[in-house]
Amino acid sequence: MAFGSLAALGDSVAHGGLLVVTSDTDVVIVPTAAAFIGATEAAIDLSMLLEVSGARVEALMHLDRSSSDEAYFARRVREADMVVLSDGSPLHAKSVWHQTPVGEALRDAPLVVTIGSVTSVLFETMIDPRGGAPTTGLGYREGLVVTTSASEEQLSRTRTLLGDDAVLAVLGDSGVLQGDGARWRVITGDVTTTRGHDEVEL
């Protein structure tokens, strides 16, 4: 599942529904993308939000390539009921997870929850937030290209560069997406989906 912001995730946890977190839920937080903006703070914020429901929460401080071969990190990602990826830099996350045991564990994890811009990196095509150009993602998920809100000029450029071959989902702060294999649907909030410059429904 993809949430546009920490607040959107908090609303979902507080009200139950699609994302049910209980005292039996084993949650692993991976704040890699937040390495340059405050990974510790991101991990604490997510922990506090999830622990309200009684979940067992562990933050794996996997912030750079030096810890990419850490067997414990990869094992915990595979074992957890839910893996939560914090917001931050998708490009940094890509460089850290690419072709590593932790990255492969993320590919195989049954439930990955992403916050904000880090969502983009999981797909075959990701959007470079610096200018909106499509580039190669990690390919852990398929069926969609995701980016977060940007200027209309940048989004128009992104849609033009993608052409009609891919569906682009623009995930706003309140947006929530749910994926099942290659199929995705908009759950709630601010999500715009287009093919080329034409709006489409998932």
58 vs 20, which has greater pLDDT?
Answer: 58
Q: How far apart are CA 179 and CA 144, in angstroms?
A: 9
DSSP notation for 78-145: HH-SEEEEPSS-HHHHHHHHTTSHHHHHHHH-S-EEEEGGGGGGGBSEEE-TTT--EEE---SB-S-E
- pLDDT of the residue at 54: 86
Phi and psi angles of residue 84, each rounded to the nearest 5 degrees, phi first: -115, 125
Tens of pLDDT, residue by residue over 16-52, are 767 888 889 999 999 999 999 999 999 999 999 998 8
Which residue matches tokens 């649907």? 185
Q: Which tops the pLDDT comparison, 51 or 97?
A: 97
Structural domain spans, the chain: 2-199
> How do strand 112-115 and strand 134-136 relate by DSSP bridges?
unpaired
d(CA 27, CA 29): 7
- CA–CA separation, 144 vs 185, rounded Å? 10
What CATH class does 2-199 carry?
alpha beta
Look up residue 16 and give its DSSP letter. Answer: -
pLDDT mean over 70-81: 95
Note the pLDDT tens digit of each residue in 165-184. Answer: 899 999 999 999 999 867 89
Q: Which residues have a Cβ under 8 Å from the Cβ of 46 and sit 6 or more positions away? A: 6, 9, 29, 31, 57, 59, 84, 86, 115
pLDDT at residue 175, rounded to an integer: 96
